[in-house]
């Protein structure tokens, strides 16, 4: 049974509007009803529950921060963050499905798409009638996407796309893929590649120990004829996908707090109930230390997120601001998951508690959307003006 009520030690709720709290409570209820009762089974069975896509659309989880004009939610970034936080409290893989759709598929179409592309794709992506994915990473180019090999040639009346992407969330089930590829001059552009185009396939990646309820796959392009009207006209260069990542990484900074809260909540309950040496284990100082540190770190991360949300709303957030929060909060959540696992003792490795699932999920979250160390180097670049990546 999902008894979670939220973590708000510093009355951070006072910083939220009534609308923020309403949105959070509607998504919290959604997670209690539609995700928490089933997630352990889905994850154990490596099952992506495709029916969740329509349900996410109905509850407004797809593109809440996208302008309302084409079906987005028209909400601010704090609302978006709260939605990601609540979904990831349920499961990081479920949050992946929602954040890829909103920040990595709807965002680029909304920012860089033509009027026709917006009309064709955004309402269906928002409602969950369509699922999308985002193809940047390649087998040989993960942290360094600028080296990508996927390319397209101008054939007069269409483009010819070749190459492959790897580790793509949602790809096996996606109706449309936002694919980043180089033209003949080596300039990166976004192309909308649709399911069913000849030469395009999206095989699933199996045997993951992490994000087991999310479907991950490849994108393979073998002489795919892409209509010219499927090129995103509004922006080219690596800056275009990196702008999308700013939005998605922001959502992850909030999502990680959700996963951390769930681990903390479960550990606190368990510590109060589990008797050893004739006392609840919560009586022991070492357990109290773990719980106190968890609450401290969650509270710090909540404040970080709230202020980052304000900066996003004001258009003042930089990539480095976002890197700091994504890096800090995901590492914090992973540490809390590990400590919570200790508090649960042997029970912590079972599916009776959410801990091990969160812990394994967070091993992906700490790597995708820029690894822990890449975000450190983004901050190092900001501090010194020297890019240490290359």
Interface positions with ligand FAD (CB under 6 A): 100, 133-137, 142-143, 167-169, 211, 216, 364, 367-369, 371, 373-374, 377, 389
Task: Single out the residue of 34, 86, 88, 246 in contact with ligand TGC (rule: CB under 6 A).
Answer: 246
- The residue from 88, 138, 369, 382 that is catalytic is 369
Residue among 46, 160, 197, 242 that touches ligand TGC (CB under 6 A)? 242
At closest approach, how far in Å is the CB of 282 from ligand TGC? 34
Q: What values do phi and psi take at 297, rounded to 5?
A: -70, -40
Q: Return phi, psi of residue 153, to 5°.
A: -115, 145
DSSP secondary structure letter of residue 46: T
The residues facing 204 across adjacent strands are: 217
- 221 DSSP β-pair partners: 163, 200
Rounded to the nearest angstrom, the gap between the alpha carbon of residue 364 and the centroid of all alpha carbons in its chain is: 10
Is residue 66 within the footprint of ligand TGC (CB under 6 A)?
no
Whether 52 and 34 have beta carbons less than 8 Å apart is answered as yes
Choose between 347 and 374: whose C-beta lies nearer to ligand TGC.
374
Helix (H/G/I), strand (E/B), else coil: 346: helix
For position 297 contacting ligand TGC by CB under 6 A, the verdict is no
Query: E strands within the chain?
Result: 132-135, 151-154, 158-169, 176-182, 188-194, 200-201, 216-227, 275-276, 279-280
Residue 138 near ligand TGC by CB under 6 A: no
Please, what is the minimum distance in Å from the beta carbon of residue 110 to ligand FAD? 18
Is residue 369 part of the annotated active site? The answer reads yes
- Pick from ligand FAD, ligand TGC, none: which does 270 bind, CB < 5 to 8 A by kind? none
The CB-of-215 to ligand FAD minimum distance in angstroms stands at 10
The torsion of the CA quartet 140, 96, 246, 54, rounded to 10 degrees, works out to 120
Residue 143 beta carbon to ligand TGC: minimum distance, rounded to whole angstroms: 5
Could you tell which of ligand TGC, ligand FAD, none binds residue 85, using a CB distance below 5 to 8 A set by kind? none
Count residues near ligand TGC (CB under 6 A): 26
Buried b (16+ CB within 10 A) or exposed e, 260-290: bbbbbbbbbebbeebeeeeeebbeeeebeeb
Q: How far is the CB of 188 from ligand TGC (least distance, A)?
A: 9
Instruction: Provide the 10 A C-beta neighbour count for residue 386.
Output: 8
Return the active site residues: 369
Positions touching ligand TGC (CB under 6 A) are 96, 99-100, 134, 136-137, 143, 145-146, 169, 237-239, 242-243, 245-246, 248, 319, 368-370, 374, 378, 387, 389
């Amino acid at each position: 049974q999902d008894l979670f009520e939220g973590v708000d030690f510093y009355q951070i709720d006072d910083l939220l509007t009534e609308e923020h709290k309403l949105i959070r409570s509607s998504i919290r209820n959604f997670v209690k009803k539609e995700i928490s009762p089933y997630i352990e089974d889905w994850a154990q069975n490596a099952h992506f529950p495709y029916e969740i896509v329509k349900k996410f659309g109905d509850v407004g989880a797809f593109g809440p921060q996208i302008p309302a004009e084409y079906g987005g939610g028209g909400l601010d970034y704090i609302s978006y963050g709260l939605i990601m936080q609540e979904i990831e409290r349920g499961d990081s893989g479920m949050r992946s499905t929602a954040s890829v759709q909103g920040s990595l598929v709807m965002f680029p179409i909304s920012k860089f798409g033509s009027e026709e592309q917006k009309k064709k794709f955004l309402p269906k992506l928002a409602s969950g009638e369509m699922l999308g994915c985002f193809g940047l990473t390649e087998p040989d180019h993960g942290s360094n996407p600028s080296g990508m090999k996927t390319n397209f040639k101008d054939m007069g009346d269409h483009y010819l796309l070749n190459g492959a992407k790897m580790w793509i969330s949602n790809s096996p089930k996606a109706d449309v893929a936002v694919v980043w590829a180089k033209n003949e001059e080596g300039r990166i552009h976004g192309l909308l590649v649709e399911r069913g185009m000849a030469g395009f396939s999206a095989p699933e990646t199996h045997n993951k120990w992490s994000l087991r309820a999310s479907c991950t796959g490849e994108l393979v392009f073998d002489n795919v004829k892409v209509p010219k009207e499927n090129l995103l006209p509004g922006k080219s260069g690596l800056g275009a996908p990196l702008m999308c990542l700013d939005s998605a990484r922001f959502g992850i900074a909030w999502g990680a707090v959700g996963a951390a809260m769930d681990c903390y909540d479960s550990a606190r309950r368990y510590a109060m109930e589990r008797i050893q040496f004739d006392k609840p284990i919560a009586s022991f100082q070492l357990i109290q230390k773990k719980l106190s540190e968890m609450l401290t770190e969650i509270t710090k991360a909540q404040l970080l997120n709230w202020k980052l949300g304000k900066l996003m709303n004001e258009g003042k957030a930089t990539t480095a601001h976002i890197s700091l929060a994504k890096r800090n909060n995901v590492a914090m959540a992973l540490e809390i998951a590990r400590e919570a696992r200790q508090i649960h003792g042997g029970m912590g490795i079972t599916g009776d508690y959410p801990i091990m699932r969160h812990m394994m999920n967070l091993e992906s979250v700490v790597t995708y959307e820029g690894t822990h160390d890449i975000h450190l180097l983004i901050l190092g670049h900001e501090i010194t003006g020297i890019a240490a990546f290359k």
